[in-house]
Chains A and B, each alone.
Chain A
């Protein structure tokens, strides 16, 4: 038994649903108790699909267990065939039905419907969603692709020497992270290479399309998690090679172009030229503005494909430092371990959310790249986060075009990963003045306009929220924002707005300060120097300098004091 708060993957039959839902003209009859229909909402709500998944559930209840659940299953098969008229049918059991041992494959065969029926054996108590997807796609390919190898002289590939080479794209499924857009981006890469796409599968493929898979010279394996098994089988059975490089990131895209070019025997020059000349991400990463990204500590976790890619991009294309790398895909543990050793970190192979949370906390990263679970972890710890892998939430199915693969994928990732970070100048100033109440490391990036507090203390968070809210409501009415009135440590909303309206101007304050309070006085020269600091941090500079002086019993602040304070608070 395993204690689970959140799970990275659903059960294997949900993987089968991802294949069935991605395809056309296929139907899945699932022996499952009432309640398992929840899985429909993954597709209709999270992915916002416009059609119900092509799944019929037997939805047996307690009273059926005493009766004949096998007969219920057969009736469901018959009725689903008549109602939906699919050209192939998947049959299987969910976790509870697996315990009943009703043998969906045998029962469906007994019904005798005139289409291919593909039985799925998905052991729910051992395996998980991605395995279920891979197994289902493999069984579909195995069942539907003609066994007889295509003879060289009749093959459409060799009939016309001048014809363009053809490839299949394997792996994209329903509910996949940006699969919809990756397909378009990979097609674009192939177009640059002068290669036609034969079939994309399972996404939008019909059973008839699957039978036409052999009409391509090779396969592009887009997602090893869901299509490795099928690709290996096609390689073995019909001698179709497949690509090993997943084109996520510029470097990987370059390797992918070269690999595909050699498989298809075409010239990669034009495609490589396009890559070199059109990537904004490459230029942005080199622009001086990005200098502040150097060596930022990044923790990476996700499915194996996206985690490997993200780590490579982080280190080699962004100039970050990978301080943690892991996956929940145990099937690809070896690849992750190899990569982790390259970054000098220990690979984290687990599907235990609590373990990942601990590892993130220990690594103290400045950016987390993960799934929706890591977004949750990062939120709790107050660390910026970008999503790079399934499982994802509804907002990670964006309306806009946002691939991960190819040229545009690299641009999308640059933007997405940089967005949650503090901007360079802002970061410099934080290094200089470290604990301003409204502009500090805990307050989060100012351009995001909301709070990402690191403080675990809930009272502290509420206090900070109150301050931010007060700042936002008074900002517009201030005569000289930040310059004149930030003096006390314990500003409450009322205090602050009172201060904004009633506090005397700098000069009167100076005089009053020198005469009646213990606050250090500023020399005119130091005051002018302070005025050179950008207005939005002037209040902080002033406060830090005053505190620095007070702590040292300096009664008059000179330019020297100002710079001594700066040196003191600089990192």
Chain B
């Protein structure tokens, strides 16, 4: 059975190996059309089911989360905003007393809450409201019922998915400290980053079949499970999401070893990702094949239908979630798409190293954003698919470009073998749709230009 992996893919042995990156990265500064880190609350509050997120911010923050979430959900939320007003700014009311009052009211209303995050915002950062001290104070008051933590999701410090990074980093001190064992043998595998429950279950089955018994996921589904997660010198960390640089660094500082790997998007990415874990735990090749072979073949079959639509099509990524590079790698290598431009808000060399070594060499990589010049380049290039945020999608559709809203990629189960086809479909669907609504288009496109 031939592996879809090219032999060049490094099978990393828990050491920081910087692959030689020869793709130039263009840096851009200007207006950034991206969400701030508060937006991460929209999926985090569903992931950690007994946690509540209280943003300490302005009406703008409340409106942002509501609008970003309102497009998709309108259920009883496990998030709210403590809106700072004039009295807090003028010092008429003591901001800390006010915060205590708000938290008390909130916990009265939601007695089911076990963990409360105070989430810092742009205004709370600028007025230097110390939420970490407030969290300590409130924890003393509400333990053992509720633990209060804090992190910043402000736009001046975090871009979109970095909010999850900041949240998870604030949770690291809650994890159990693993003592250094005599041997350096790995004891547990910690998979870091929010993925869909179903993906988690698939991976657990697969890794267990390989013989990796102690697999833990971070963040856990319930806050009480945090203390069951061990981090120490025998812990191996595998990132499921690319935007977790700070969390990863903090785990490494606690002795854990990061396993460098591409990200588990697409069949190739998933194989390389699982293989990296398998190598770290000295899983034999037959055991690895046995655990992954069927799902891998299924995953490859699921891509075929979408390859017919996507092969040869040109795609342009606006920066959004930091998932852009792994997505582009998948679309280019497994579905035959041409990468016109791949924009990402940040490119962490170390975390992206494995991915960058898989990218086609001529790829135009852009870090940062100047939205107006990027739009100009996009219009000029007229890609077949443009991946962009909600603010840009309809205007570009109106201009005749086919778009894929990027936020969906953060909210859908897209990782792993059994989701590879679904991921491809997210990109194929806008093209299929265009063909359904304007069936004459491809014909016209097929005509020779004159």
Contacts and interface: CB of A to CB of B under 8 A. Distances in A.
Interface of A: 1-7, 9-11, 13-14, 33-42, 44-46, 48-52, 56-62, 64-65, 76, 79, 83, 94-96, 99-100, 123-126, 128, 354, 372, 376, 380, 393-394
B71 A46 contact: yes
Given A37-B32, A42-B67, A3 B394 contact: no
Given A41-B391, A50-B398, A83 B71 contact: no
Contacts of A57: 31
A240 B349 CA distance: 64
Nearest to A75: B30
Given A3-B80, A10-B60, A61-B155, A34 B36 contact: yes
A125 B88 CA distance: 9
Contact of A376 (B62, B63, B74, B126): B74
A94 B36 CA distance: 15
A61 B34 CA distance: 12
A99 B154 CA distance: 15
B59 A41 contact: no
A1 B63 contact: no
Contacts of B59: 4, 7, 9-11, 95, 124, 128
B157 A49 contact: no
Contacts of B391: 37-38, 40-41, 44-45, 52
Given A6-B66, A96-B126, A11 B31 contact: no
Contacts, number: 188
B92 to A, nearest CB: 12
Interface string B42-81: 0000000000000010111011101110110010110011
A3 B247 CA distance: 30
A61 B157 contact: yes
A76 B31 contact: yes
Interface of B: 31-39, 56, 58-60, 62-64, 66-68, 70-71, 74, 76-77, 80-86, 88-89, 93, 95, 98-99, 101-102, 105-106, 109, 122-123, 125-127, 154-157, 159, 372, 389-395, 398
Contact of B86 (A44, A58, A126): A126
B85 to A, nearest CB: 5
Contacts of A59: 31-32, 155
A96 B60 CA distance: 9
B34 A35 contact: yes
Given A1-B93, A51-B398, A95 B58 contact: yes
Contact of A125 (B33, B58, B67): B58
A61 B156 contact: yes
B101 A99 contact: no
A6 B64 CA distance: 11
Contacts of B155: 33-36, 59, 61, 96
Report the 5 A-B pairs with minimum CB-CB distance, sorted nearest first: A35-B36, A35-B155, A40-B391, A50-B398, A96-B122
A29 to B, nearest CB: 10
A33 B68 contact: no
Contacts of A354: 109
A44 B82 contact: no
Contact of B157 (A48, A56, A62, A83): A62
A33 B156 contact: yes
A38 B67 contact: yes
A9 B95 CA distance: 23
B298 to A, nearest CB: 31
B83 to A, nearest CB: 5
Given A7-B63, A38-B68, A51-B395, A125 B85 contact: yes
13 contacts: A6-B62, A7-B62, A14-B60, A33-B156, A37-B34, A38-B68, A41-B391, A61-B156, A95-B60, A96-B123, A123-B86, A124-B58, A125-B88
Contacts of A123: 86
A37 B157 CA distance: 15
A45 B85 contact: no
A35 B162 CA distance: 12
B35 A38 contact: yes
Given A4-B83, A124-B60, A99 B127 contact: yes
A4 B398 contact: no
Given A3-B80, A11-B63, A50-B398, A34 B32 contact: yes
Contacts of B101: 1
Given A2-B85, A96-B123, A44 B390 contact: yes
Contacts of B394: 44-45, 48-50
Contacts of B98: 1
A62 B389 CA distance: 22
A4 B80 contact: yes
Given A34-B156, A44-B391, A50-B394, 18 more contacts: A1-B98, A2-B83, A3-B105, A3-B106, A6-B66, A13-B60, A35-B159, A37-B391, A38-B35, A44-B392, A48-B394, A52-B391, A61-B156, A76-B31, A99-B127, A125-B86, A354-B109, A394-B71
Contact of A65 (B38, B105, B156, B393): B156
A279 to B, nearest CB: 34
Contact of B60 (A34, A36, A41): A36
A95 B123 contact: yes
A51 to B, nearest CB: 5
A354 B108 CA distance: 13
A385 to B, nearest CB: 13
Contacts of A50: 394-395, 398
Contacts of A124: 58-60
Given A40-B33, A49-B394, A96-B58, A1 B77 contact: no
- Which of A4, A41, A60, A83 has the most chain B CB within a 10 Å cutoff? A41
